[in-house]
Amino acid sequence: MYYEILYIKFFLIYSMSAITGPWTTPQKVSFRFVFLMFTLFMLIVNNGTLPIVYFIIRYPNNVLDRFIPWMAGTLLHLGREVTNVPSGSGDSTFDYLLLLCILMASVIGTVIWTAIDRKAIHYQTLYYWLTVAARYYVAFMLIHYGLIKVVKLQFASPGQTRLNEAYGDSSPMGLAWTFLGYSKGYNIFMGIAEISAAFLLFRKTAVIGAILALMVSLNIMAINFFYDVPVKIVSTALVALSIFLLSAHIGRLYKFFIAGETTALKIIEAPYIKKKWLR
């Protein structure tokens, strides 16, 4: 949980509120860390969002599959075997150690990047492409989960074994799955709410998409934490990425929702690409 909270801490101190001029040193250093952390996480913890990415990073993943067990036994002396065996859990010891590796790589990468790139004025282009990657990652993740809720594949109706089980014998996750699986209508409602993340796929509707994604992912994260559902890392990342996407608009959202002032959202301009085929 400690490493998950680091997501929120670092990009809250990093707010790219429509920066058009030179960035300050703390902003540049914070961006370097956030860029590396989010990029590595989205590539490695892809969770089936972009299947083609799996084939791109399967070799680095094979290295991690060997390195993390070695790190657990040799460096951390955990005293038990740590392997990346599919178990239906996204919060295994291996997953938390993988998150630790991503964190360490991001810190080391930030130090190296800062040392060799002292003359940079800003990273507006990289910032734009990071928002694109975050938008599509969150959108595809939520759309995927939304579709399987609409057709009621994620939360099945309570079976005979579950119905015959004593209420007090249910695990917290079992209680949540029984409640959520009981109603087909509620599954459709949840599915539509998650599919609404499709607004993130378009720059002009990215803000409303990020707001909807934040509300949906906050609810998912709360269920995962308070009902001990082992998908805490990914759900926390969805919350973090949604807040990141809204960070550039915090001032304008405050004016509109809190101060009651007239304002207008600013669409992040895409960098101009000369070659038509690349566009």
- Cα–Cα distance measured from residue 156 to residue 166, given in angstroms and rounded to the nearest whole number: 19
Full residue range of the structural domain in which residue 247 is found: 2-259
Identify the band that residue 191 occupies on the pLDDT scale cut at 50, 70 and 90.
very high
> To the nearest 10°, the Cα dihedral for 89, 57, 50, 212?
70
Does residue 267 fall inside a structural domain?
Answer: no
Does residue 236 fall inside a structural domain?
Answer: yes
Does residue 266 fall inside a structural domain?
Answer: no
Report the pLDDT value the prediction gives residue 161, as an integer from 0 to 100: 86
Q: Compute the Cα dihedral for 261, 243, 16, 129 and give only its sign.
A: negative
On whether the CB atoms of residues 210 and 154 are closer than 8 A, the answer is no
Does residue 38 fall inside a structural domain?
Answer: yes
- Angle 99-38-239 from CA coordinates, rounded to 5°: 85
What is the arithmetic mean of pLDDT over 25-30? 93
> Domain tally for the chain?
1
Does residue 180 fall inside a structural domain?
Answer: yes
pLDDT tens across 43-54, in order?
999 877 777 787
What is the arithmetic mean of pLDDT over 160-174? 88
Does residue 55 fall inside a structural domain?
Answer: yes
Mean pLDDT of the chain: 88
Does residue 269 fall inside a structural domain?
Answer: no
Phi, psi of 24 (to 5 degrees): -75, 165
Q: What is the pTM of this model?
A: 0.88
- Angle 155-53-30 from CA coordinates, rounded to 5°: 95
Does residue 274 fall inside a structural domain?
Answer: no
Residue with tokens 């009981």: 182
